[in-house]
């Protein structure tokens, strides 16, 4: 079996040294990556490591990407842990950066990263047993196919999505793809009934109006990043020169969309996981799903609808503690 690495990016938003450096470049709260929600900690990172160790013991290596700070409980001597500082892999001309897009678009430069890797945000967890085939099959990334509409709103990711799709339409002919053998993947029922229906409705247009993005860990080939940088290096460099997220940026969804359009991704069961945006109407369901391990993968996404952060943070921690009470080898 080919090696599969996990990659996680993390920032300690409470670190005064990090805040001081960030504020040297921009102290405004109006920038896309500069709101408190993007940086505040839910103090649940240890459960990510516990989940990986318990439910994905086959993982080759974990690359933990950070500005330089580390959780005080972390066992840095764990042989499967590779601590990666931004300066270890991001080109010097882009540093320092507070732009998640820059951090993500350069992941392929991490020394020792395997060809197959799974990328996690720090709000995405493994909460039930997973196998390598949940992420890659015969060297191909597992993913969800589907056309979609792009949502544009203030401080949304719509602008990045739109910029990504512009490049996708530049390099790929949608009609040609859908008429090819790989076109069937876009209508596989593994993508879910709603996805298939929406794809059929949006298939009227000869170009890609948008591509579905599920807010769960993404399976990447390192060679995809290398290929896209080779073809659109100047465009990606412009993104990486922005210290904070800016509307003109591309993001790592471009790599995901590229793999879908090349047809190298394999449709997977949409029931593998679920993203919960923390709002009143699904909050209790989210807590129950965490504590029982209902899904293999889960995202606990902070939002402006988080009404009582300290209380909800404690409740999320208590739910993870029910599922994963034992320390992992990544903890002291």
pLDDT tens-digit profile of 144-164? 999 999 988 877 788 999 999
> Nearest CA to 8 among 56, 237, 160?
56
pLDDT tens-digit profile of 18-61? 989 998 887 555 544 445 555 667 789 999 999 999 999 999 99
pLDDT for position 35: 55
Residue for token digits 């790592």? 252
Q: Which domains does the chain have, with CATH numbers?
A: 4-323 (3.90.550)
> Nearest CA to 331 among 51, 110, 99?
51
| 157 class by beta-carbon count within 10 Å (0-12 exposed, 13-18 middle, 19+ buried) | buried
Which residues have CB under 8 Å from 111's CB, separation 6+?
88, 89
pTM: 0.94
Q: What percent of the chain has pLDDT over 90?
A: 79
């Amino acid at each position: 079996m080919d090696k599969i690495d996990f990659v996680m990016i993390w920032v300690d938003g409470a670190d005064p040294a990090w805040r001081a450096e960030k504020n040297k470049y921009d102290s405004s709260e109006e920038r896309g990556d500069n709101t408190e929600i993007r940086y505040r900690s839910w103090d649940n990172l240890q459960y990510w490591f516990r989940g990986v160790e318990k439910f994905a013991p086959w993982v080759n290596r974990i690359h933990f990407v950070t500005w330089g700070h580390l959780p005080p409980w972390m066992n840095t001597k764990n042989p499967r842990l590779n601590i990666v500082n931004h300066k270890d892999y991001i080109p010097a001309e882009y540093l320092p950066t507070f732009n998640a897009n820059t951090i993500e678009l350069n992941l392929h430069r991490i020394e020792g990263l395997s060809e197959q890797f799974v990328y996690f945000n720090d709000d995405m967890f493994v909460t039930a047993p997973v196998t390598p085939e949940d992420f890659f099959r015969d060297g191909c990334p597992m993913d969800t196919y589907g056309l979609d509409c792009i949502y544009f709103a203030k401080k949304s990711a719509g602008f990045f999505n739109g910029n990504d799709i512009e490049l996708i339409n530049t390099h790929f002919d949608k009609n040609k793809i859908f008429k090819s053998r790989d076109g069937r993947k876009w209508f596989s029922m593994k993508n879910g009934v709603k996805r298939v229906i929406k794809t059929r409705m949006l298939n009227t247009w000869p170009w890609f109006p948008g591509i579905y993005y599920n807010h769960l860990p993404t399976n990447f080939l390192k060679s995809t990043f290398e290929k896209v940088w080779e073809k659109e290096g100047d465009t990606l460099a412009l993104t990486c020169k922005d210290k904070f997220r800016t509307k003109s940026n591309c993001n790592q969804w471009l790599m995901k969309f590229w793999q879908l359009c090349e047809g190298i991704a394999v449709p997977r069961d949409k029931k593998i996981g679920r993203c919960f945006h923390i709002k009143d109407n699904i909050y209790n369901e989210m807590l129950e799903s965490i504590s029982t391990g209902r899904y293999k993968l889960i995202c606990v996404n902070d939002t402006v609808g988080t009404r009582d952060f300290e209380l909800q943070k404690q409740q999320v921690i208590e739910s993870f503690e029910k599922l994963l009470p034992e320390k992992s080898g990544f903890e002291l």
